[in-house]
Structure 1
Amino acid sequence: MVQLQRLGLLTVAPGLLSLATANEYDYDVLVVGGGSSGTHAAIQLQQSGKSVALVEKEYRLGGHTNTYKDTATGETFDYGTQVLVNTTTVRHLFDSLNIPLAPFKPGGQPKAVDFRNSVVGPSWPVVDANASAAALDKYEALLTQYPDDFFRGYHLPDPVPEDLLMPWGDFLRKYDLGALAYDGFLQFQGMGNILAQPTLYVMKLFNPMQVSARKDKTKVSQANHNQQALWDAAEQKLGMGNSSVVKCANIKSITRSSSCVTLVAQTPSGTQTLRAKKLLMTIPPKVALLDQFLDLNTEETDLFSRFNSSGYWNAVVANTGFLQGVSMYNYDAKAAFGIPGLPGAYYFTAEIDNLYSVQYSTPMEASDDYFTSDILATVQRIRDALDLPPANQSTTIQASNNHSPFALSVSVEEIKNGFYKRFVALQGMTNTFWTGANWASGSSSTIWDFTEVEILPAILKSLE
C-alpha cells in the first residue's frame, strides 16, 4: 500500500522560524528506466496489485520509441521502434491500454544503393525470395536444438556449443544460410559489424519468434503509426491508483540494503526520495552509466565493466531530393552477402511528403556531430549514384536521437569462461532485479516475454 507522507522539517535561522516540506513515497517496487521494458514491467506490476514508482530521465516514456508528427498535415509516423511480433504478450499490453494494432507495412518502393561508394545496387529484392524461404526453413530446424529459455534470456548450454561462439558470417557459410544474411542486417540493427558478432547474439535476436513472424507474416505496428500513444496511455494508467511516474529525473543516488531500496532524484518539482522493497533496473548495465548513482557491488562492477557496445541513432530527414515514395536501402554488391561496412545508415524510408526516417549504426564510439555530418554526406552520395538533380532546398535533419550504448556484448573467451552464468545470477541480489535488451535481446517482443515469464514472477515471489 502506498503511504504518502508530508514531513515537516523544522529549520531555525536567526530571527526566523520556517517550515520546509519534503515528499517521501513508499512503494513495493522502484522501476528505473521508462523505456519499453521498464514501462511494460511497471504496468504488469500494477496489474498484479503492486505499488510502483517508475523513474525516467527524459520528459516522456517510451525509450527507443520515437514518433514524429508532421506539422503541415498532423500525420504521425514512427522512426524509432516500428515493428513488433504479434504475440499474446504484445496484444495483451496494447489491448489493456486500448491502443490498436495493425499488420505492419513497410513504406515506400525499395531501391538498393551503395551508400558509401555511390553505386546503384541490383534490382529489388536483392535476394531471391525462394532462396530466402528455403534458408529460413533450414535455419528454423537448427533452432530446435535449443530450449525456450535460451532464446528468452541468457541461459546458455554448458559447455557453450561452438556454433554459438563462431562469427555469424561463418555460421551462415557453414550451414549455407547466406540468403538470410542481408535480411538479418536490415532487421537486427545496431550490432556494428553483424557478420563478426558471435552467433549467440544474432541468434537471440533472430529467434524462433522472429522466424515465425516472417513465415506467417505476423509483424504488427501501431495502427495509426504512433507508438508513442502506447506509452502515453501507460503513463496515464500508472498515474492512477497506487503507482506513479517521475519524469525528468536526475537520479542522485540509489542505496540498497537487505530490507529497503532508497532512491534520491532531483526533479523539476524539487528533490524526491522514493523508498521501496525491491528495485527493477532496465537501463543498459554499463559501469559508466550506473556508477554515477547506483551503489554497485564488486561483482556487478566486474561484470558490467566487460561489456563492449555499438552506437545507434535514428532520425527524420527532410529535403533529400530523392524520388517521391522511393525508400533507399544500403547494399554493397562487392561485400560479403551485400552487407555494407559501418558506420552508416541502413536505409532511408519514405514517410510523409518529403520526409524520410533513418536508422544508423557505428561499431565504435562517435559523436552526434559525426552522425549528422555523415547522414548529410550520405544523402548527397545517394543523389550522385542516382544522378538526381540538386534538391530545391538544403537537406535538414528534423529530429534525431542517440540511443547509444547499444547491443552490449562480451568476447568469445568471456562467454566460454561462464560470464553469463554470473550475469544471470545477479537477479535478486540486494533486492535488485534486471531486465531490458541486454538481459534478453533487442526485440521488444522478446524482452516483454522474458520479463513476464522470468522477472516478474521472481519479484512477486520475493515480495511475499
Structure 2
Amino acid sequence: MIIESLYVLAAAGILFIPAHAATGHGTAGVVNTICKDVAIIGGGASGSYSAVRLREDFGVSVVVIEKDVTLGGHVNTWVDPATGRGFDAGVQNYIDLGGAKAFFTRMGIATQPNVRSVLDTVYVDFTTGARLTNYTPPSAADRSDALRRFLAAAEQYLPILEPGWWSFPEPSQIPTDLLLPFRDFIAKYNLTSAVPQIFSTTGFGMHDLMGSLTVWLMRSFNVNLDRLLLGLDTSFVPASRKNQDLYDAILKLLGSDVLLSSTVIGAERSDQDGVVLEVRSSATGDTTRIVAKKLLFTAAPSDANTAPFELDTLEKSVLHKFEYSASYVGVVSHPSLPLNTSLVNTPSAVQPTNWAAAIPAYPYNTRFENYPNSSYYRVIATGDQTFTEEQAKAVITGSFDKMVAAGTLTQTTPPQPLEFHSFTPHCLVSAYVSRKALKCGFIQSLNGLQGRRSTWYTGAAWSVHVSTNLWNFTDTLLPRLVASL
C-alpha cells in the first residue's frame, strides 16, 4: 500500500524526495514530505476552528492548507495604516451560541457586547441614483411582529436543519414549507414587513433571495439571526473591534502546522490508504508532499476547489450539483458620501409601502454604510456564481456615479473617483441545489460522502452560514472523524 508506506517512512523522519521524483509538475525547489493525522483544506471559520479542536482537544496532528496570506476566510478585516483601526467588511459579529465566547477566551481574545451605532438611513434606487421620496419603511412594531411569525414557523424545522444535515428527512418527507420559493413562504406566513430587514441582515449573500427555496433561506437567515434581531439572543465582537484578531491568534497557536499561500495541485485518496497531497506555495514555488490518514475539506466544494482532488463519479454527481452566489466586500471613501448614514439600495417599486419589492435585481451593491466615527464606508456587491471581482467593482462604482448624476450626491471639484481601500472576495457563498435534486435524495447522498475516500466535510455547504453555527456543526463532525482514524 503506497500511501501507508509513505506514512510510515515520513513518521520515521526518513523520507526526503527530490522534486523531480515526487511530482510530475516540474516544480522548482525541493519537496518536503510531512506526515499528519488530518490535512485540512481551508483556513476560514470552519478550518481554523477544526484545527484548534483536533490538535488541542483530540490530540490529533494536523496541517492546514490555506490559499490566502492569512487565516480567517470571510472575516475580511481591513486595517487603516494611518490609525491602526480595524474595519470589518465581511463578518460583523458573533452570536453568543454554544461555546463561541469561550473559544475567543481560550484564544486570548477579549470580547464585548456588539452594540451597533444607529445610522441615518437614506433609501436610494441604485439603478437610477435617485433618492426615494415616497417610501415608508415598515414600523418597528410591524417588523417585529413579522420576525416573530418567521421565528414561529422556522423553529419547527430547527431539528432537521441544524446544526447540520444529519437528521434531514427522506425526500418524500421533506416539509412542504421548505420547498416553497421564499416569496411564497412570505405570503403564507404574512412576513412582508420583515423583508427589508431580512435582506439588510443577510439576504445580500443570496443573489436571488425571493426565488430561493425556503430551506436555503433558512440556512442564511436562520433562527438565531432572527432571535438576535428580536433581542432574544445576543452577539459579541472582539474588544479590539478587529475580527481578524481571532484568526491571527489561531495562526500563532498553530504555527508551522499552517501552510499559507498554498494550494493543492495533486491528490490521491482512498478508503484503505488515506491521503497524499502535493501542495504548492505561491510565495516560493516549492512543493510539499503531505501524507495524512484523513482529509477534512472545509472550503466551498465548488468545481474549481475540488478539481485537484480528482473526484470520482459519485462525488461529482453530488458536489457538482451545488450552485452558489458570489459576494465581494470592500471599504471605500469619498468626500461626497454623507457621514453617519447608510445609503441603502432600494428599488423605486417599493414606494410607498410595497415592502416585498425591497430586493434589488442582481447583480447589485447593497449599500454604502458609514463606519461610525470615520470617513470610510462598507460596500457589498452580490451576483450569481459567475460574478467576477471586476464586475463587482463596476457595480459599486456605477451605483456611486449614478447617485452623483442624479444629484443625490454632490461631486467634488475637481471630480474625484470613489476610492477603494480594500476589496476582497467573500465567496463562494449560499450553496444550494434545485428542488428536483432535493426530491431525488441530494441531502442523503451528500451525507453519504462523509468519510468516503478518507475525506470528511464541514463548512457552509453543510451548515448555516454563520460562524458560530458552523462551529456547532463542526463539533458534531469532529468526533466522527477522530473515531475513523
Instruction: Settle same-fold status: TM greater than 0.5.
Output: yes
* Residue in structure 2 matched with residue 382 of structure 1 by the alignment: 403
Helix, strand or coil: the match of 1:24? Answer: strand
- 1:71 aligned onto 2:81: yes
For 1:150 and 1:402, the matched residues in 2 are separated by: 27
Structure 1 stretch displaced more, 257-266 or 148-157 = 148-157
For 1:22 and 1:286, the matched residues in 2 are separated by: 28
- 1:225 aligned onto 2:235: no
State the one-letter code of the partner of 1:388.
Answer: L
Aligned pairs for 1:264-275 within 5 A: 264-267=278-281, 268=283, 270-275=286-291
Aligned pairs for 1:114-133 within 5 A: 114-121=125-132, 126-133=137-144
State the one-letter code of the partner of 1:118.
Answer: G
For 1:109 and 1:218, the matched residues in 2 are separated by: 23
Task: Measure how far apart 1:103 and its partner are.
Answer: 2.2
Task: Measure how far apart 1:11 and its partner are.
Answer: 11
- 1:278 aligned onto 2:279: no
The answer to whether the 8 A contact 1:86-1:213 is kept is no
For 1:249 and 1:233, the matched residues in 2 are separated by: 20
Aligned pairs for 1:360-379 within 5 A: 360-363=381-384, 365-379=386-400
The answer to whether the 8 A contact 1:178-1:337 is kept is no
Task: Measure how far apart 1:10 and its partner are.
Answer: 8.5
Aligned pairs for 1:12-411 within 5 A: 22-48=31-57, 49-107=59-117, 108-121=119-132, 126-154=137-165, 155-158=167-170, 159-188=173-202, 189-215=204-230, 216=232, 218-239=234-255, 244-257=257-270, 258-267=272-281, 268=283, 270-291=286-307, 293-319=308-334, 321-335=336-350, 336-351=356-371, 353-363=374-384, 365-385=386-406, 387-391=408-412, 393-411=416-434
Helix, strand or coil: the match of 2:339? Answer: coil
Task: Measure how far apart 1:284 and its partner are.
Answer: 1.1
Task: Measure how far apart 1:264 and its partner are.
Answer: 1.0
For 1:345 and 1:197, the matched residues in 2 are separated by: 19
Structure 1 stretch displaced more, 98-107 or 221-230 = 98-107
For 1:125 and 1:442, the matched residues in 2 are separated by: 31
2:475 paired residue among 420, 433, 452:
452
Structure 1 stretch displaced more, 330-339 or 161-170 = 330-339
The answer to whether the 8 A contact 2:79-2:85 is kept is yes
Helix, strand or coil: the match of 2:309? Answer: coil
For 2:18 and 2:215, the matched residues in 1 are separated by: 58
In 2 relative to 1, CA 116–5 (structure 1 residues): closer, same or farther, beyond 3 Å?
A: same
How many residues are matched?
A: 451
The answer to whether the 8 A contact 1:309-1:409 is kept is yes
For 2:177 and 2:49, the matched residues in 1 are separated by: 33
For 2:142 and 2:16, the matched residues in 1 are separated by: 72
Task: Measure how far apart 1:349 and its partner are.
Answer: 1.4
The answer to whether the 8 A contact 2:160-2:169 is kept is no
State the one-letter code of the partner of 2:247.
Answer: W
TM-score by length of 1: 0.91
Task: Measure how far apart 1:413 and its partner are.
Answer: 0.9
For 1:8 and 1:64, the matched residues in 2 are separated by: 36
Specify every segment of 5 or more residues in structure 1 that has no aligned partner in the other structure, as ranges. Answer: 13-19
1:423 paired residue among 438, 446, 456:
446
For 2:263 and 2:180, the matched residues in 1 are separated by: 41
* Residue in structure 1 matched with residue 3 of structure 2 by the alignment: none
In 2 relative to 1, CA 163–315 (structure 1 residues): closer, same or farther, beyond 3 Å?
A: same
Task: Measure how far apart 1:44 and its partner are.
Answer: 1.0
For 1:330 and 1:147, the matched residues in 2 are separated by: 31
Helix, strand or coil: the match of 2:324? Answer: strand
Specify every segment of 5 or more residues in structure 2 that has no aligned partner in the other structure, as ranges. Answer: 1-7, 21-28, 351-355
In 2 relative to 1, CA 21–135 (structure 1 residues): closer, same or farther, beyond 3 Å?
A: closer
Deviations 1:367-406 (A, max 9, x none): 3222222211211223445633213532122221123332
The answer to whether the 8 A contact 1:35-1:64 is kept is yes
Identity %: 28
Task: Measure how far apart 1:346 and its partner are.
Answer: 1.3
In 2 relative to 1, CA 426–75 (structure 1 residues): closer, same or farther, beyond 3 Å?
A: same
In 2 relative to 1, CA 330–118 (structure 1 residues): closer, same or farther, beyond 3 Å?
A: same
Task: Measure how far apart 1:79 and its partner are.
Answer: 0.7
Task: Measure how far apart 1:145 and its partner are.
Answer: 2.2
TM-score by length of 2: 0.87
For 1:320 and 1:126, the matched residues in 2 are separated by: 28
The answer to whether the 8 A contact 1:112-1:329 is kept is yes
Structure with the higher strand share, 1 or 2: 1
